[in-house]
Amino acid sequence: MTVLTNDPRAFADEALAGFAAAHAEEVRTVHGGVVRASATPPGQVAVVIGGGTGHYPAFAGWVGPGFAHGAACGQVFASPSASQICSVARAADNGGGVILGFGNYAGDTLHFGRAAEQLRAEGMDVRTLAVTDDIASGQADNTAPRRGIAGDFSVLKILGAAAEAGLGIDAAVRAGRRANAATRSLGLAFGGCTLPGADRPLFTVPAGRMSIGLGIHGEPGIAALPLPTADRAADLLVDRILVERAVAAAGVAGSDRVALLLNGLGGTKYEELYVVYRRVAERLAGEGLTVVAPVVGEQITSLGMAGLSLTVTFLDEELEALWTAPAATPAFRRGAVAPRPPRTDDLTTTHRMPPVVPGGPVSRALGARLAEALLTVRDTVVAHEARLGDLDAVAGDGDHGIGMRRGAEAAAAAAREAVALGAGAGTVLAHAGAAWSERAGGTSGALWGAALTSFGAVLGDHDGSTVGGGGAAGRDSRTGGRDAADGAQLTRAVRAAVDAVLRIGGARPGDKTLVDAAVPFADRLEAALPTVGFAAAWAQAARAAGEAAEATAMIAARLGRARTHGVRGVGSPDPGAISFALIVAALTPGTPDSPDSPESSEEKH
């Protein structure tokens, strides 16, 4: 388990700071991650990779000539935010365009996708490459939904070498995608990992057993078998990967030559890995396969998880040349790379938040009420953090409670700062949304960030388009006039927020996600508003959200990290749906914790 921490909430930031200090001649810090300390030739394609903390050497340890130009680093087991990715990409770009490389997880796909859209809007040529090598998380004839695990190393190494070789962005991304199509991985776990500050592992493996097909974020495997000998573990890995040999090698000439990574996940060390590799090499040779420049060691870990994985990439002539090309990074070196001059530009200035738009008096008053509401959100999430983490650990990685707390705390702080600067309601929520996305990362960070921003966009910053300054949350729209208009506008804002979640996340009711509670909430609010008024309608909607969230216990997940373990989650409700229901219940007008309740005050926060 992770023993040496200070404040567990600062673990990722402190780990990155220590890494950068230890490798100051090789990397420089920027907002959201690190970039090469050496200069990059003008016009060279920049490869920017990234993912959550807890996987070192991935991803910061792979930054250097012949590999990546920069790495965006998220919180523990959470994707970096879109703003972090944009910051690193801007610092890494040298005029040749940027390729964003990442493992195929919902949060990473959302944040890297949003970052690509933002950078393209700024005029940058940006492509994305999601690694999908894990054979345990999807069918052989449909690899698109598969996760990226240790194959991240092999695919991104080849991608970085393509950029280093001077290929243009089209050719480089083609090489990376061909490498991904030819790469297959499978992992085994002998014990779970423990998040910094947690008192127990995300999952356990009974003595004398092993888990097959684990993820790299503490997700449990898809099956368990008796613990084998080293040779039998090697045989299992080789056999299952070679079952897909024909699929992996389709269209790849010379596929009797393979790149190989035998990867330790953090708690299984080198001598054990070499014992396993001895048998792997024998088996592959017996199948007529030649291993080219094998890598044995820790390249993509899962904190201190006991386990290992095997990655095989079927090579053609071009992929082999890129696989064996020189590289010089803090964690991986191959061949000789000519010294590079240091970069001398200023990397200290970054743009993190939208500008503050001064609001009219009514909008500023509403912004202040919304900031109070976000304090209630924060307190609600903190109170239920442990439960949300436990729910997420059933079929996921157990970090939902931690991520929601980080996001809610950041959003509440950002909202208060915006209020102090005279922001209107729209800008208060835009700052809160950006902060939530930035600090939480992961899928929930992207979705809640987008939801808050979309909610605020409906309210705006000008009094002519903003609900009454007293905050309509406690008013009754049956009285007509401004109160009715206020309730209608807040309801439109709710619908805009839910629509943003649907659009960005791609989930639909029945997928076992936040959407299963959010859609019934918006539907009931709209249906009840005309007859019972906003406060009563919100209360009805909150009850509907709670019932829908609990009903997800009977659904097998179809999206997100829990998808791979969908059946395992039956009987347990979705943590995202539960957190949504808890929040809207706490914000119900007239409840003790609601900003509209007489019992609610700034002092209690």
Integer Cα distance of 394 and 405 in angstroms: 19
Q: Which one-letter DSSP state was computed for residue 511?
A: S
- What is the structure's pLDDT at 604? 42
State pLDDT tens for residues 263-301. Answer: 999 999 999 999 999 999 999 999 999 999 999 999 999
- What is the structure's pLDDT at 253? 47
CB 377 within 8 A of CB 404: no
State pLDDT tens for residues 525-553. Answer: 999 999 999 999 999 999 999 999 999 99
Is residue 50 classed as helix, strand or coil in its secondary structure?
strand
State pLDDT tens for residues 426-443. Answer: 999 989 998 998 888 788
Lowest mean pLDDT among 81-95, 176-190, 258-272, 470-484: 470-484
- What is the structure's pLDDT at 605? 42
Per-residue pLDDT at 181 exceeds 70: yes
Integer Cα distance of 495 and 526 in angstroms: 9
pLDDT band at 254 (very low <50, low <70, confident <90, very high): low
Is residue 311 classed as helix, strand or coil in its secondary structure?
strand
State pLDDT tens for residues 10-43. Answer: 999 999 999 999 999 999 999 999 999 999 999 9
- What is the structure's pLDDT at 598? 46
- What is the structure's pLDDT at 106? 85
pLDDT band at 216 (very low <50, low <70, confident <90, very high): confident
Token representation of residue 288: 């007529």
- What is the structure's pLDDT at 412? 97
State pLDDT tens for residues 388-433. Answer: 988 888 866 678 999 999 999 999 999 999 999 999 999 999 899 9
Query: For residue 480, how many C-alpha atoms fall within 13 Å in the half-sphere facing its CB?
Result: 0
What is the residue-averaged pLDDT of the chain?
89
- Per-position b or e across 163-192, b if 16+ CB within 10 A of its CB: bbbebbbeebbebbbbbbbbbbbbbbbbbb
Amino acid type, 433: G
Residue with the larger pLDDT of the pair 77 and 563: 77
Amino acid type, 49: I
Residue with the larger pLDDT of the pair 565 and 570: 570
Per-residue pLDDT at 347 exceeds 90: no
- What is the structure's pLDDT at 470? 38
Tell me how far CA of residue 507 lies from CA of 112, 126, 401, in angstroms. Answer: 18, 25, 20
- What is the structure's pLDDT at 486? 86
- What is the structure's pLDDT at 592? 67
Per-residue pLDDT at 588 exceeds 50: yes
State pLDDT tens for residues 468-520. Answer: 543 334 344 333 344 555 899 999 999 999 998 998 888 899 999 999 999 99
Place of tokens 């202040």: 368
Integer Cα distance of 246 and 516 in angstroms: 40
Residue with the larger pLDDT of the pair 383 and 565: 383
Lowest mean pLDDT among 149-158, 199-208, 458-467, 556-565: 556-565
Does the pTM exceed 0.85?
no
Catalytic residues: 217
